[in-house]
A = this chain, B = another copy of it.
């Protein structure tokens, strides 16, 4: 058990929330998302993002269409389904509550 491990664990679920949010703002493909996530210092590697997108698609939260590219192979452009929007709403609420709860605990100072 080490700190790096906990840091990895902390991302779980949150990444899914962030990805849904990014897609909710307009059509994007995987590299777009990687760029934005990296810019926000939420470092993610391909091997994490692609399986996540596949999961979300299989769960009916995402759709995609192939779009030809001028430089390289065609790309999958993702959009949110209605179901995806509803899930995003719930996750937003969950995340807000989680942040609030954590704040409640960590803002208390030593009593002893």
Q: Is A17 an interface residue (CB 8 A)?
A: yes
Question: How does the 8 Å CB contact mask read for A71-93 relative to B, with 1 for contact and 0 for none?
Answer: 00000000000000001001110
A22 closest partner in B (C-beta)? B105
Which residues of chain B have C-beta atoms less than 8 A from A95's C-beta? 10, 102, 106
Contacting pair B90 A40 (CB below 8 A) = no
* Number of identical protomers: 2
CA gap between A39 and B7 in the complex, in Å: 25
Interface of chain A: mostly helix, strand, loop or mixed = helix
CA gap between A81 and B106 in the complex, in Å: 18
Contacting pair A14 B25 (CB below 8 A) = no
Q: Is A6 an interface residue (CB 8 A)?
A: yes
